[in-house]
A = this chain, B = another copy of it.
């Protein structure tokens, strides 16, 4: 099996993280994973949803969208249709949940951080790229809050990144591009912390059910990929902007 960028089965596509891609947001990150490109912005809003009011705790939530021609053929705008698809809802719930898992909402205080992930080009792995990029945007927003002295202590509890793994033509592979994804027998998304613990595992047998042996390989590949992604995140964060 020939993979894009001449990768081995356990190889990631080239990853690039650009901070301050736009100026208005408290955090603005363009993440590129091969041809997949997602703009992740973090916006601070000084209020919380009704269910969190008066608790002293903040909230972190995500929204996800693709521009119509992020895909090979044009996809109709959800705003034009008047409603979100199930796929979009599922993805933005996943991103929000993942990011919340590394934030101490008490330390954040009664405010919301919105993570908007807008896919400019989709070539597989947009949801995991969104999580990996949104984490960096979130850090910049937290930095903003610390500098403005709106919060005293950093509420970030651990680093976070995500990657997809799967089985294509009988082989377990890391970081599927669109072509691989569309013929995958199994597709799995893994979100992991810097401590090496799982925040989310979502594995789906698209064609052929998988067994424990597959799962073991998937998780090993995922950990390897996430470690590499965390290196890219670290470099991006340390680079003065």
Q: Contact residues of A with B, CB < 8 Å?
A: 22-25, 28, 35, 37, 39, 41, 43, 45, 63, 65, 67-74, 77-90, 92-93, 97, 101, 114, 116, 118, 120-121, 158, 188, 192-193, 195-205, 209-212, 215, 219
Contacts and interface: CB of A to CB of B under 8 A. Distances in A.
Contacts of A200: 203-205
The dominant DSSP class at the A interface is: mixed
Nearest to A72: B24
A166 to B, nearest CB: 13
A116 B67 contact: yes
B86 A90 contact: yes
A138 to B, nearest CB: 13
B205 A202 contact: no
Contact of A86 (B37, B79, B93): B93
B90 A84 contact: no
Contacts of A22: 37, 69-70, 120-121
Contacts of A63: 68, 77, 80
Contact of A121 (B23, B92, B158, B198): B23
Given A24-B121, A204-B97, A77 B74 contact: no
Contacts of A79: 65, 77-79, 81, 83-84, 88
- Which of A35, A70, A88, A118 has most B Cβ within 10 Å? A118
